[in-house]
Every structure is written in C-alpha cells, then in structure tokens.
A and B are shown apart, each in its own frame.
Chain A
Amino acid sequence: MSKVMSLHDAIKTFVKSGDSICIGGFTTNRKPYAAVYEILRQGLGDFTGYSGPAGGDWDMLIGEGRVRNFINCYIANSGYTNVCRRFRHEVEKVGKMNLEDYSQDVVMYMLHASSLGLPFLPVKLMQGSDIVNKWGISKEVREKDPKLPNDKLMEIENPLVPGEKVIAVPVPRLDVAIIHVQKASINGTCSIEGDEFHDIDIAVAAKRCIVTCEELVTEEEIRKEPSKNSIPQFCVDAVIHVPFGAHPSQCYNHYDYDADFFKMYDTVTKTEEDFKAFLQEWVYDIKNADEYIDKLGASRLTKLKIVLGFGYAAKLVKEAK
C-alpha cells in the first residue's frame, strides 16, 4: 500500500501537539529539517523531545517555544555552533522548558531499549556524576506529566550479582519518529546509507514513523538488494519525497552540509530578533520544501553534491597561494 503523501499532510496526520517525539540523524548529519520546518509552520508544539545528538532541529523547536520537556544529552551544530544558542537562551534566560540531562550513551541505549521493548534499562554509566545526583525535572513535575516517567533513574543493586551497583533507567515510549533516509519505497521500505545513527531504533519504537527521502523508488526496485534495507514497510506510516530534505545538514552519498547556512544560523541565533527574522524568511514565508530549494538556488545546491568516492563535497580545487 502506497504511503506517499505530501509533507504537509503527513505532519498534519501523524504529529499532534503534546506528542513525545524523537528526530533521527546526528548533529549536522541527516537531520530531517524539511519535516521540522513543516512542524514549525503548522504551529504544533508542547512536545516532549528525546534529543539524541541534537542540532539546529531541536534548537529551532526550542527557540520557538514548542518544547515542554526536553530530554537532553547533546545539542550543537558541531564545528559551527558549539552549544546551540536558542537552547542556551531558553535555559539561561527563560527557564520555561523542563530540561533533563542524561549522558548521550544512556539516551542512545534508552532509544535502543525502546526498540527492543525492554521494561527498564540497567546501566553502569553516569555513576558518581551529577547526572545521577541532580534531577533536571523533579519527581513532583514528572508525576503530573503523562509523557514523563515518575523517576529520572534509580540507583539499585544488580538483583543477579549481589553488591553490584547499577543505575536503572526508564525506557521511553515514543509517539512519533521522524527520519530522513536516502531511499524509500512507496510503501515505506527504507534504505539508509552510511551510519544509521539511532534512526532504525526510533522507527521501530515509535507509534508513528514519518520518513522523508532523497529518492522514492518502487517496492520492486528497493528489493533488488534487501541487505541494504533496514526498515520494513510496516514500521513506516508516511513516505514523503523531499530531495535535499536534510539541508542544511549532510546526507551521505548525496550532499554535504551547507557551511554558509550553518554559519548564518550561528549568527542569527545570537539574538531573539534575528532568529525570528530568520524563521520568517526561511520557514514561515515559505510554503513548502520546493519553495525552500528554489530559494537556496541551483548552483548552491549543486556545490553541495558529494564527490563519488569521497562521500562528501571534497575540496578538489587547490587555492593558489
């Protein structure tokens, strides 16, 4: 059954305000930005966000006040913005959002545990650190919020190895996973090239999964090499063909990050005013993903295309000294 939809309809159908959401990709790599822009445009919010290694995706949602709870482990457009600035602004100056910290490893384990359907997760991580000692979201707030477990974690003894201290961590339940992949069939079978990051985990774990793709192909075509496929069709609810749907982040074997865009984002996120103007120009005044790539322009996007064999837009032209 074809699950091909417009991005507008997919977000409208499968994302609800108040949802618990996880976004795929890694800081500046394969982030489903087109879908994030559409969420912003549709005014959805009040989310509980599981960050994974987050970047501008969550920074924009946080900056626009769309996030109620943020389960953080890392948020940076690495190499361009060392700590995302609207996140910083929210935490340092506003303080409205509930913020919880885990180590990145534990968040990745939590998402994996969710995909495995485990009841809880015992780890030998974070021990002795303030990640254990200080709860960003208090038990009181947690007990009143249906999207949050009552406890951040519990220090317990390993029931099978007396005397061994371990940390028990709750396993999240996700409403929505949003990922961008290189290739998807019209039915939702996905092929991810390069590192999968936590994308397969969240696609399996979430109640609903939205996939944007660089290339949309027939089911017959994607089944030519099943060993390259990593998400079966029944884990996917919507397939949207969005070339450059991860821009300004990278998409392995397709395009590199847009360094100028990330530099611009670094600059505009320094003030609330410039950030709002940026979103107006690049998100709200734009109808859809087609208008977005038209605005970027052909030569700009062509320059981001990877050099085959390198996997990125290698600098092959040496500058004269």
Chain B
Amino acid sequence: MVNYKNYTNKEMQAITIAKEITDGQIVIVGTGLPLIGASLAKRIFAPNCKLIVESGLMDCSPIEVPRSVGDNRLMAHCGVQWPNVRFIGFEANELLNGNDRMIAFIGGAQIDPYGNVNSTCIGDYYSPKTRFTGSGGANAIATYSHTVIMMQHEKRRFIDKIDYITSVGWGDGPGGREKLGLSGNRGPVAVVTDRGVLRFDEKTKRMYLAGYYPTSSVEEIIENTGFEIDTSKAVLLEAPSEEVIKMIREEIDPGQAFIKVPAAE
C-alpha cells in the first residue's frame, strides 16, 4: 500500500511555493524546488500561470523535470526560445511599463532580516571559506521582479549581517531600495523555508514569521533564526492532502530528481 500521508518538509516547501503563485502570474522559475512548486501550481492552484526561465525560454510547459534552466526539457514545447538578453529586457520592460504580473523564485546561502541575499560566498570575498556559483540570474530578478526566496532554515543562514550581498532585498529597510537606485515597487514578498514561511512588514520591511509547518513549531523556528524574529502573526499551516503528495511523487518528480520520497516504514 503506497503511503501519501508521510509528507516531508521539502514537499511541504514545494507546496508552500506553489501557493505563493497567483493565477495568471508570469513566474520566473529556477530548477529544483521552484520548478516543482510551479509545476504544482500550474496543475492545481494557479492553472493559468506562465513559466519563464532566465536562459530566455518563455512560456514553458515541461513534461519531464529539467535539471537546468537551459535544459532541452524546458526548450521543448515552450512558447518562444529567446536568447537570455531578451529575457532581461522583458523583465526590465515589465517594470518600465508599470506592469505588475511577475513573481520569481531565487535561492541563497545567507539572508538578512531585510531579505538581502548572499549566493556568492561564505567568509571573506577575497579568500572565501566556501565559494558558490555567483549571481546567475538572481541579481536581475531581484532588481526587476517580486521575489520569493528559498532558504534552508538554519541559524547560520539567517543572520544580521551577511558575508556578501548578491541580490538586494529591501536594502536597509524603508526607502532602502530607492536609495540604491532600485525601484521600491519591487522586492521580496516571502521567504519559504523547510520549516515555514516568512514575510516582510509593510512599514519596517523587516522579516516576520507568517506561518509554520505542522512538522515544525514557533519555538523551533526562533531557535533556528540567527536574528530576532517577530512571531506574533504566525499561524499553523495546513498539512498537504494525499492527492497533492501523490501528484508530486507520481507526476511531477517521479524520478525523485529534486524531492526524495521517504522510505517505507
């Protein structure tokens, strides 16, 4: 008997991502969890959303899970195969034309209370302890689109001062983006972790806990956040239905490329 009740934190994270997408939105996805979440949104929560990727592939509808944003699995059956520069131009024009229909997912190694993200290095930039890929498409995405930031919820990753700012969130708080030459009409809307979802206070632009998974708790999240976090608005999020878990495991990521299915007990 196949078990669909034993959902994992990662599956919960993918579902939480999916629910961040509003129907009809243009969604900038990366591979991994955001793509699983967006595929789920397209099937259940937001069937009219459109997927685009930073390689320039527009209006994608992958059947098999792609490994990279330049994967042939995204290239096949997409609307248009643009070069990357057109994708950037499109993002910019969405802002210049006053449109507000994009949502994007970016990941990071470190994040501060205002949603500034580091995906470049741990330690000193000039002699890093750990070096990552660098910006990729994240910096432009954080410049031109609303973002949902994907994080592993650990104390060493949620810190007051990150080692390197790769992508600017709300800067140093209210008016922070404008000071830097960025639009205040864009910025991070949520942080989705393996323990819950955090949002940004409209006035202070500081991160607060909005919801936690049944597998987590407010105490656990405080313990795993390296800065002070307001939890007064936190609600317990619903456990996923068996249908949704079945869809992830059997239709969206049957090869378990990004989400491992727990071993049977």
Q: Looking at the complex, which of B4-12, B163-171, B194-202 is the stretch in contact with chain A?
A: B163-171
Q: Are A131 and B70 in contact (CB under 8 A)?
A: no
Q: Indicate if A306 sits at the interface (CB-CB under 8 A).
A: yes
Q: Are B64 and A130 in contact (CB under 8 A)?
A: no
Q: Looking at the complex, which of B50-58, B147-155, B204-212, B216-224 is the stretch in contact with chain A?
A: B50-58
> Which chain B residues in 206-245 approach chain A with CB under 8 Å?
none
Q: Are B92 and A82 in contact (CB under 8 A)?
A: no
Q: Can you spell out 21 A-B residue pairs with CB atoms less than 8 angstroms apart?
A: A73-B135, A74-B134, A74-B137, A75-B134, A78-B70, A79-B257, A80-B67, A87-B131, A92-B129, A101-B134, A105-B88, A108-B85, A129-B167, A129-B168, A131-B166, A164-B181, A194-B72, A195-B75, A195-B82, A196-B83, A198-B84
Q: Indicate if B175 sits at the interface (CB-CB under 8 A).
A: no
Interface string of A162-174 (1 = CB under 8 A from B): 0011100000000
Q: Indicate if A252 sits at the interface (CB-CB under 8 A).
A: yes
A142 to B6, CA, bound (A): 56
Contact pick for B125, options A28, A105, A130, A194, CB 8 Å: A130
Give the Cβ gap from A93 to chain B, nearest Cβ, in Å. 10
| Given A73-B136, A128-B180: A315 in contact with B72 (beta carbons within 8 A) | no
Interface of chain B, helix or strand or loop or mixed? loop
Q: Are B138 and A103 in contact (CB under 8 A)?
A: yes
Q: Indicate if B193 sits at the interface (CB-CB under 8 A).
A: no
| Given A105-B139, A195-B55: A128 in contact with B182 (beta carbons within 8 A) | yes
How many residues does chain B have at the interface if contact means C-beta atoms less than 8 Å apart?
A: 56
Q: Indicate if B130 sits at the interface (CB-CB under 8 A).
A: yes
B89 (CB) vs chain A CBs: closest residue = A109
A158 to B207, CA, bound (A): 33
A115 to B94, CA, bound (A): 25
How many Cβ-Cβ contacts under 8 Å join chain A to chain B? 187
Q: Indicate if A16 sits at the interface (CB-CB under 8 A).
A: no
| Given A28-B70, A200-B83: A83 in contact with B165 (beta carbons within 8 A) | no
Q: Indicate if A185 sits at the interface (CB-CB under 8 A).
A: no
Contact pick for B120, options A27, A112, A130, A197, CB 8 Å: A130
Interfacial chain B residues near A265, Cβ < 8 Å: none
Q: Are A130 and B164 in contact (CB under 8 A)?
A: yes
Interfacial chain B residues near A250, Cβ < 8 Å: 71-72
Interface string of A111-127 (1 = CB under 8 A from B): 01000000000001111
Contact pick for A28, options B67, B140, B164, CB 8 Å: B67
| Given A26-B70, A53-B55, A252-B75: A195 in contact with B81 (beta carbons within 8 A) | yes
Q: Indicate if A277 sits at the interface (CB-CB under 8 A).
A: no
Q: Are A83 and B133 in contact (CB under 8 A)?
A: yes
Give the Cβ gap from A42 to chain B, nearest Cβ, in Å. 28
A25 to B96, CA, bound (A): 30
A82 to B130, CA, bound (A): 13
Q: Supply 8 further A-B pairs (C-beta < 8 A) apart from A195-B75, A195-B82, A315-B64.
A: A78-B71, A79-B257, A105-B140, A106-B140, A130-B120, A197-B70, A197-B84, A201-B85
Contact pick for B56, options A73, A74, A195, CB 8 Å: A195
| B66, B81, B133, B180: most-surrounded residue (chain A CB, <10 A) | B133
| B56, B134, B168: most-surrounded residue (chain A CB, <10 A) | B134
Q: Are A310 and B63 in contact (CB under 8 A)?
A: yes
Q: Are B135 and A131 in contact (CB under 8 A)?
A: yes
How many residues does chain A have at the interface if contact means C-beta atoms less than 8 Å apart?
A: 62
A275 to B233, CA, bound (A): 51
Q: Are B133 and A75 in contact (CB under 8 A)?
A: yes
Q: Are A91 and B131 in contact (CB under 8 A)?
A: yes
A53 to B54, CA, bound (A): 10
Q: Are B72 and A73 in contact (CB under 8 A)?
A: no
B168 (CB) vs chain A CBs: closest residue = A128
A196 to B134, CA, bound (A): 23
A198 to B70, CA, bound (A): 12
Q: Indicate if B24 sits at the interface (CB-CB under 8 A).
A: no
A215 to B195, CA, bound (A): 51
Q: Indicate if B48 sits at the interface (CB-CB under 8 A).
A: no
Give the Cβ gap from A167 to chain B, nearest Cβ, in Å. 8
A195 to B131, CA, bound (A): 29
Interface string of B83-107 (1 = CB under 8 A from A): 1110010001000000000000000
Q: Indicate if A29 sits at the interface (CB-CB under 8 A).
A: yes
Interfacial chain A residues near B130, Cβ < 8 Å: 88, 92
Q: Are B136 and A74 in contact (CB under 8 A)?
A: yes
Interfacial chain B residues near A194, Cβ < 8 Å: 72, 75, 81
A255 (CB) vs chain B CBs: closest residue = B72
Q: Indicate if B79 sits at the interface (CB-CB under 8 A).
A: no
Q: Indicate if A264 sits at the interface (CB-CB under 8 A).
A: no
Contact pick for B83, options A84, A127, A195, CB 8 Å: A195
> Which chain A residues in 83-103 approach chain B with CB under 8 Å?
83-84, 87-88, 91-92, 95, 101-103
Interfacial chain A residues near B181, Cβ < 8 Å: 124, 127-128, 164-166
Q: Indicate if A72 sits at the interface (CB-CB under 8 A).
A: yes
Q: Indicate if A282 sits at the interface (CB-CB under 8 A).
A: no
Interfacial chain A residues near B71, Cβ < 8 Å: 28-29, 78-79, 250, 312
